[in-house]
Chain A
């Protein structure tokens, strides 16, 4: 399968601090990849490198065949970044925000009008087009944040924790939107701390830790991997009785299926990462 995003031996250093340490990752065209990692693992730095927002110390990043270092502008035209923070102007109206970002992306005339209509429909904010962003709910702002990142109709979408602080309905709407965009053939890279979001949304998962990819595979393959063996037991007894009998036989036997969170913790450890932060720019670096 053709790779839409190809990262080879990416290294990003800020002085003595190594944010990304020889990271390699290949994201197939049309994939919906969940990019996971603890705080400070190098996710945001990797995203910034894909978007051409920073200069790698070493390694190569290609998007749709374009080298990010050589043609950052070309790469940015192919990537739609939906940042974790609300990159909107709260005192301007929804329409003014969309128009500004349309203009900034070089969209003009009928094309700009079409994309504005598309964005308002995508965010379901037609009725709120003339409302100031500061008056919108958290979910509405998140939807608008997503739409504004996709105005230039990019084939690659990177969502950096897009569901932070939204209610379940808005989260569901964002999932539907992302599924719809993926169904149109776009490649999506989705970072989050919520494992259930990746399980619900993504077909592939990459887990990053300490600046390296520690696991990358299809979601079902990851869940099936590891030292855990699944047994299907048919018994004329309750689940608790079965579990008790199995536990007497082998203490390692657990009743629950393997979850992505389990995989994640197995790979990245259970220690806290409070002191580490990946800002994508080396801030907080020693």
Chain B
């Protein structure tokens, strides 16, 4: 039985290698496409900035400071425009969002209206098709506003002006409790008599925002993560093209049936199921060869690194290969004709590639789709390879993905063998 299976595997490899140009293309195309798509997602300096249009109704130093703060953010590029131009550009989709700063923003940022109870309405215009970017801009604007207010609070001069204004207001309001008046008096005294305490002269001194947020990239290995967009695109494109390889293997089997040449295989003293499994194993071995070549190119040219477990990395590829072999048999089993396999298989490969995160990372998917995609083998392949490459997760994550993929392969292959029609 093993002899017969090995003969079929050897033949499949010989047929694959007989068309050397075709074999080379099955390696080159995923590498080129993954490189191209990876380039689009690469987190390069200045490449991930968004345009923010800003409309100002006054020439105030605090407003200028706010705009400067926003512009200083490496992820935002500020352009000052008129309101009409801002509305036109956002409506036309030329800019994702525009910030309208009306008259009074400068005073508000200078603490003038701190105790007046008045609110200045700041508006963010957004393109409905870019709500994600607009939300991102909104967060950045809030951050800049608080930073600017913090700076004003730490300026004894501005704080004193605000307190003076507040004291004048409370004098005219008999309902204000005497304790609050006393607080304002003592705060005013503090600001005027000991400005150093407000402004600060060194670490741990002065009026400062009590919280500071910093970001840190982490990887499963505990070291700093070095996100490589190519690591994602190589996993996705490889998986998609391996499935296209499955399609070719399944179609080849059905074409042999259509041509009537399977009958000679049936005449061999080998169980029919063994012959089919041989085709599946052949497809799996070819998938492994392509995977090795594609990742070798990815490592040498695009600096993809295995930051997790090498054993897990190999295991995911083995699991993926089993899945590819099983998928080939499934297609051969359910497709009555080669044309059916072409249509059905292409649809299945494209849908599974999309849902499984081969095109776009799963973290960009809506929640419901993110959950559903766990039923798609492609998702386990891309996640498993991401875990073992740029995410740097431990062996267990790789083994889990490999086991799920192999499980899919065995089940799909069994269905294919069961449903395959020899004539």
Contact = CB atoms under 8 A, between A and B. Distances in A.
A104 B15 contact: no
Contacts of A76: 267-269
A104 B14 CA distance: 15
A95 to B, nearest CB: 11
Contacts of A89: 11, 14-15
B411 interface: no
Contacts of A53: 263, 266-267, 422-423
Nearest to A89: B15
A149 interface: yes
Nearest to A102: B7
Nearest to A158: B267
Interface in A59-104: 73, 76-77, 79, 81, 83-89, 91-92, 96, 100-101, 103-104
B395 to A, nearest CB: 38
Interface string B131-158: 0000000000000000000000000000
Interface residues of B, number: 24
A83 B263 contact: yes
B267 A51 contact: yes
Contacts of A51: 266-267
B3 A106 contact: yes
Nearest to A96: B14
Contact of B269 (A77, A86, A100, A101): A77
Q: Which of B263, B267, B270 has the most CB of A within 10 A?
A: B267
B260 A92 contact: no
Interface in A134-153: 148-149
Contacts of B10: 100, 103
Given A76-B269, A85-B261, A149-B264, A283 B423 contact: yes
Interface of B: 3-4, 7-8, 10-11, 14-15, 18-19, 259-270, 422-423
B278 to A, nearest CB: 10
A267 interface: no
B264 A83 contact: yes
A129 interface: no
Interface string A268-286: 0000000000011101000
B15 A83 contact: no
A97 to B, nearest CB: 9
A85 B256 CA distance: 10
7 contacts: A51-B266, A87-B264, A91-B19, A100-B7, A100-B11, A104-B270, A149-B264
